[in-house]
Chains A and B, each alone.
Chain A
Amino acid sequence: MVKAIIFTLAAAALCVGLFIFTELYVGKQFDEFSAAVETLYDKTENKTANREDGFAVRTLWNSKKENLHVFLPHNDISYVDYWLSEACGLIYRGNYELALAKLEVLKEISKNLPGAYKLKFENIF
């Protein structure tokens, strides 16, 4: 009986710990990625973005997504891959107008994606 209660409390504590860690970790990863995308957006708007800037954001995202796969559905992560690749491709070619549109989508995704998995009333139902 005591053993069963201890197991239950331990499992509950582990779950709560994991919930808190996930919220903080995913939020932090997307905050950092969002800031990088914001910088790339500003540079693209000023038409000063180049191949290296795009490459830096992609490297940052690649390092983050390895761990994010553990916490988020993989389809959501591939959306970010898709839009980031398109934006970088357009920046390489110097097509800043179209790249801005893609980066706008990317900004929205990186802002809203962590929120879709947060403990909110609308997400429960």
Chain B
Amino acid sequence: MALVFIRTAIIFFTLLLIMRLMGKSQIGEMQPFELVITLVIAELACIPMADSSIPLLYGIVAIVSIFILHQLVWLLNLWFKPVKNVICGTPSVVINKDGIDPFQLKKNDLDVSDLVESMRGAGYFSLDDVYYGLYEANGSFSALEKEEKNSGSLPLILIDLGKPDKKNIKKCGFDEGSFKELLKAHGAKIKDVVAMTVNGDGRTYFQKRGEKYRIFDIEVPEKW
């Protein structure tokens, strides 16, 4: 019986570690340890139920073990702040007053398109609609919005963490040469750009690595 407890504890902490390592893009609304419990407890309950050669007590002890581990993690979270940071994680501020923080994005296995998608889900369609944007420890996105939003039309991502989106660049009326010329005029190469988006009015969000973002207008052939 003690064996079942220890095996359960090993699986519990292994899963917890893996979920934490996966980052916030992998978890939904739950804290990592709550998700681990949800995954494990269903399986623990099913195995002795489905396999009559295993004593039911094995499943019961394993489930009680999960309860004890849950309570332990909960108490540790409550009493020791550093433990809470390790187990549940901390919010990641991915947008600050200087623009996108590429380090925080990469730390959570996200890119600019994931960020834009999260922002759209929260009701913001432009990267400069918010002062601050952050991923909470449970993976949800929160933002401190600006008084005035600039979401007149849908922005297209032209550069995402140094990688160009050729289809969108073409849609904005640029070829490779003219696009590089535009970047050169702003003192950047493609790989130096954290994010560049353009909306249908030609309003451009441009952020070079290590610098504050800039907003400028460019000519776009057609509005969208």
Contacts and interface: CB of A to CB of B under 8 A. Distances in A.
Contacts of B67: 8, 11
A8 B55 contact: no
Contacts of A70: 55, 57
Contacts of A123: 3
B30 interface: no
A15 B5 contact: yes
A69 B55 contact: yes
A71 B53 contact: no
Contacts of B83: none
Contacts of B178: none
B2 A72 contact: no
Contacts of B122: none
A23 B74 CA distance: 30
B119 to A, nearest CB: 38
Interface string B13-57: 000000000000000000000000000000000000000111101
A17 to B, nearest CB: 10
A72 B61 CA distance: 13
Given A19-B2, A124-B7, A75 B53 contact: yes
B53 A74 contact: yes
Given A73-B55, A74-B52, A11 B68 contact: yes
A71 B68 contact: no
Interface centre among A8, A23, A70, A74 (most CB of B within 10 A): A8
B55 A71 contact: yes
B55 A72 contact: yes
Contact of B72 (A8, A73, A117, A119): A8
Nearest to B54: A73
B2 A23 contact: yes
Contacts of B52: 74
Contacts of B144: none
A39 to B, nearest CB: 29
A19 B68 CA distance: 15
A14 B67 CA distance: 13
Contacts of B55: 69-74
Interface of B: 1-3, 5-7, 10, 52-55, 57, 61, 64-65, 67-68, 71-72, 74-75
7 contacts: A4-B71, A8-B68, A14-B64, A69-B55, A71-B57, A74-B55, A123-B3
Given A5-B75, A14-B64, A71-B57, 12 more contacts: A8-B68, A8-B71, A11-B67, A11-B71, A15-B1, A15-B64, A22-B2, A73-B54, A75-B53, A119-B2, A124-B7, A124-B10
3 closest residue pairs by CB, A with B: A19-B2, A8-B71, A119-B2
Interface of A: 4-5, 7-8, 11-12, 14-15, 18-19, 22-23, 69-75, 117-119, 123-124
